[in-house]
Amino acid sequence: MDQKASNSQKIEKNEHNEQRKRSKRVSMKKRRKPSRFRKQNTIIQQLALERIEFLMESAIKIYSRNPELGNRYVDLARKYSMASKVKIPTKYKNIICHKCKKLLIPGVSSRHRIQSHKKRGSRYIVTCLTCNHTVHIYFQQKKTTTK
């Protein structure tokens, strides 16, 4: 009888210990505060985004006088975005060639055309003059409703 009683007490203790461990896990998760690292990381990302925007703006301005320097600024902006894990804003991403990663300035380093089709709708074609890579951007036609 003593062995059965001691076995049942051991089982109860084990169950009690497991419940305490579970409750500690839950309470630890609830009490966790935002770390300094996360705050610091967001500040770094904001600074990187500002730097990327500055580099892209200066690349656009200086490209007409010095194309090599403009492309160097684009390259630096891409490296900043990869290092800090920040996406380049779409307004700047669309003026970078997807193949050769050079700046696309209309009439200087790229050709911009609009083609219209009856069935497929109109499309905007951007051709890089450095590597001849083309990008097709399709327009959505407005649906007219008749009453």
H/E stretch holding 127 reads strand 123-128
Q: Read off the pLDDT of residues 52-90 as tens digits, 9 standing for 90 and up.
A: 999 999 999 999 999 999 999 999 999 999 999 999 999
Please state, in angstroms and rounded to a whole number, the distance separating the CA atoms of residues 96 and 77.
11
Residue holding tokens 């309470």? 27
Specify whether the CB–CB gap between 77 and 55 falls below 8 A: yes
**What pTM value is reported for the model?**
0.66
Q: Read off the pLDDT of residues 8-44 as tens digits, 9 standing for 90 and up.
A: 666 776 776 776 666 655 555 555 666 665 677 888 8
3-state secondary structure of 108: coil
Please state, in angstroms and rounded to a whole number, the distance separating the CA atoms of residues 127 and 135.
7
Question: Whose CA is closest to 62, among 103, 107, 106?
Answer: 103
Residues 6+ apart with CB under 8 A from 63: 70, 71, 103, 105, 108, 109
CATH among 3.10.290.10, 3.30.930.10, 1.20.5.420, 3.40.190.290 for 36-138: 1.20.5.420
Domain map of the chain by residue range?
Answer: 36-138
